[in-house]
Amino acid sequence: MLKYLLATASADRVVEHAAQALVPLIDASEEADLVPYLGEMVHALVGLLQNRPLYVQQQALRTLASLALTANRAFRPFYNQLMPELLNMLSTPVDKDRRMLKAVGIECAAFIGTAAGKQVFKRDAARLAGIMADIQQSIADDDDPQSGYLTSTWSFIADTLGDEFEPWMPLVMGKMLTGARQAVQVKAYQDGSEEVASGWEVIDDQYLLNTSALEDRLTHVQQLDQICVHLSSRLMQGYLDDVAACCVENLQFKLDESVREAAAGFIPTLTKHAKAVQRPDVLETVLSVLPDVILREETMSVLSTLYDKLHESIEVLGPPLSLPPAFIQRLTQATHFHLSAIGEQRVARKEMMEAAMGGGGADDGPVEESELEYERGKEEEEDEVMDSMGRVLYTIDSGHTLLFTIGGLKELGLDDAGAL
C-alpha cells in the first residue's frame, strides 16, 4: 500500500507520510525481504526528488538512506544512478531554506556509498569528502543543520578512504576534538522563575542543563572514536596526545554517564595506535586516571564497559604483559571497593527478601512480582560487572584473590537464597 501511494498519490503530504511510514518497516526488515521491492521503491523515491516541496524531498532522501543501509550490497545496482545526482546536488550552493535538504543528502550519499562497498564507493568518496570539507568551512551559524550531519558522516568517509583520508585530517580531527571537549553549561533554576528555553532541561527542580550541547558533545565523542578506529596508526600518530587528553577529560565527565561510556571506547583504540608507533606514554596518560575513574563510577553499565574496554586494551598489548605494578595495585583497590559494595547490597537484598517472604519483616506480606523482577535486574547488572571484572583480573593474574571473591558473591544471588 505504501509503495503504491509513493508511485500514484499526488498530494504532497500523502507521499511524505507514505515515505516516512516506510522507514520503520525497512529498518525492521532483512536484506532478503527488501530485494523484490527495491527497484520499485527506489524509482518511486527518486521521483519524489523532482518538483516536490522541500519537506517531501528531505523525507525521500531519508527513506533512501534507510533503504540503502538495510539492503546493504543488494543496493549496489542503484549506485551509478543515484550517486552522481547526489554529488551534483551537494556541490551546488544553496540558501538557508535548503540547508536541511543538503544535510540529509550528505548522510544519504554516505549510506549509499557504504552499501555499495569500498571498492565502488572509493572513486567518489574523495569528491564527497571535498564537498563536505567545503560545506564545513562555510558554516557560519550555530543552528546550521549541516554541521550535525557532517559530524555523523565523516567516519564513513574515513573508513572508505583509509590512508587517502589524510588531506582532510586537520579539518576533521580539529572539529571532532573541539566538539568532544565543548563546554556543557549548568545553571541554577528556580521553579517558575523563567521559561525553559529549547535545548535546556530542568534537573531535580534545581538546575538547568544545556542538553543540546550535551548531546552534541556525546555525538562528537562517539564519532571521533569511530574515526580513530578506522584510521591507520600512521595517520593517527600526530593526534594521539590530543585524543588521549580528550579521552581522559570525557572519562571524568560528571554530567552524563553516556559520555563516560563512549569515552571508554578510546582505550583499546589508543592502545593499538600507541603500541604501533611505540608511544607508551600515550597509554600511560589514560591508565594513570583509569583506576580513579573506575573507583568513582556508580552506573553499573558504564562500570562494566570500563572493565570490558580495559580487557580489550590488555588483549591488544598481548604477552608478555607489562602493566605498571602501581596501576595494578590501584585497579585492585578500586575493584575491591566495588565488590565490597556489591556484597553489602546482596546481603541486604537477601535479608529483605527472606524477611518479606517469611512474614517477619516490617512490611509483612508476599513479595510483589514487580519488586522481585526489579531486584533480579539489579543482580543481573552486578553479575555483568563481576564478569567483566573477572576477565580483567584473570588476564592480569589467573590466581588473583579477587576472583574467589567474585565467585563467592555470585552465590549470594536471589535464586540461591530461595527467594523464588
Phi/psi zone of residue 192: left (φ > 0), alpha (ψ -120 to 50 degrees), beta?
left
Measured at the CA of 284, the angle between CA 393 and CA 336, to 5 degrees, comes to 30
Does 420 have pLDDT greater than 60? no
Enter the C-alpha cell of residue 355: 524477611
Enter the C-alpha cell of residue 51: 518538483
Residue 165: exposed, middle, or buried by beta-carbon count in 10 A (0-12, 13-18, 19+)? buried
Angstrom distance (rounded) from CA 157 to CA 175:
15
Radius of gyration of the chain (CA): 26
Which pLDDT score, from 0 to 100, does residue 51 have?
85
Torsion 200-204-206-207 (CA) sign = negative
Does 360 have pLDDT greater than 60? no
Does 24 have pLDDT greater than 60? yes
| Ordered strands of the 207-209 beta sheet | 186-188, 207-209, 201-203
201: three-class secondary structure by DSSP: strand
Which pLDDT score, from 0 to 100, does residue 100 have?
94
Does 315 have pLDDT greater than 90? yes
Which pLDDT score, from 0 to 100, does residue 374 have?
84
In a domain, 280, yes or no: no
Does 5 have pLDDT greater than 70? no
Angstrom distance (rounded) from CA 146 to CA 125:
18
Residue 266: exposed, middle, or buried by beta-carbon count in 10 A (0-12, 13-18, 19+)? buried
Angstrom distance (rounded) from CA 381 to CA 341:
13
Which pLDDT score, from 0 to 100, does residue 80 have?
95
Rounded to an integer, the average pLDDT of 301-330 is: 92
In a domain, 54, yes or no: no
**Residue type for position 389:** M
In a domain, 333, yes or no: yes
In a domain, 208, yes or no: no
189: three-class secondary structure by DSSP: coil
Does 129 have pLDDT greater than 60? yes
Indicate the average pLDDT of the chain. 90
In a domain, 198, yes or no: no
In a domain, 346, yes or no: yes
In a domain, 329, yes or no: yes
Domain span holding position 379: 289-420
Phi/psi zone of residue 319: left (φ > 0), alpha (ψ -120 to 50 degrees), beta?
beta
152: three-class secondary structure by DSSP: helix
pLDDT digits (tens, 9 = 90+) for 133-188: 999 999 888 888 999 999 999 999 999 999 999 999 999 999 999 999 999 998 88
User: Cβ(259)–Cβ(218) under 8 Å?
Assistant: yes
Question: Which residues lie below 8 Å from residue 31, measured CB to CB, with a gap of 6+?
Answer: 70, 71, 72, 73, 74
User: Cβ(151)–Cβ(175) under 8 Å?
Assistant: yes
In a domain, 203, yes or no: no
Does 103 have pLDDT greater than 70? yes
Which pLDDT score, from 0 to 100, does residue 358 have?
65
Which pLDDT score, from 0 to 100, does residue 6 have?
63
pLDDT digits (tens, 9 = 90+) for 237-276: 999 999 999 999 999 999 999 999 999 999 999 999 999 9
pLDDT digits (tens, 9 = 90+) for 178-209: 999 999 998 888 776 667 888 888 887 788 88
User: Cβ(19)–Cβ(60) under 8 Å?
Assistant: yes
Which pLDDT score, from 0 to 100, does residue 194 have?
67
Q: Phi then psi for 202, rounded to 5 degrees?
A: -80, 130
Domains in the chain, number: 1
Q: Phi then psi for 412, rounded to 5 degrees?
A: -90, 15
Rounded to an integer, the average pLDDT of 386-410 is: 95
Enter the C-alpha cell of residue 339: 565488590
Angstrom distance (rounded) from CA 138 to CA 329:
51
Torsion 26-32-36-40 (CA) sign = positive
Question: What is the separation, in whole angstroms, between the first and last Cα of the chain?
Answer: 49
Lowest pLDDT segment from 30-34, 71-75, 351-355, 359-363 = 359-363
Does the reported pTM lie above 0.75?
yes
Q: Using omega within 30 degrees of 0 as the cis cutoff, is the peptide bond preceding 167 cis?
A: no
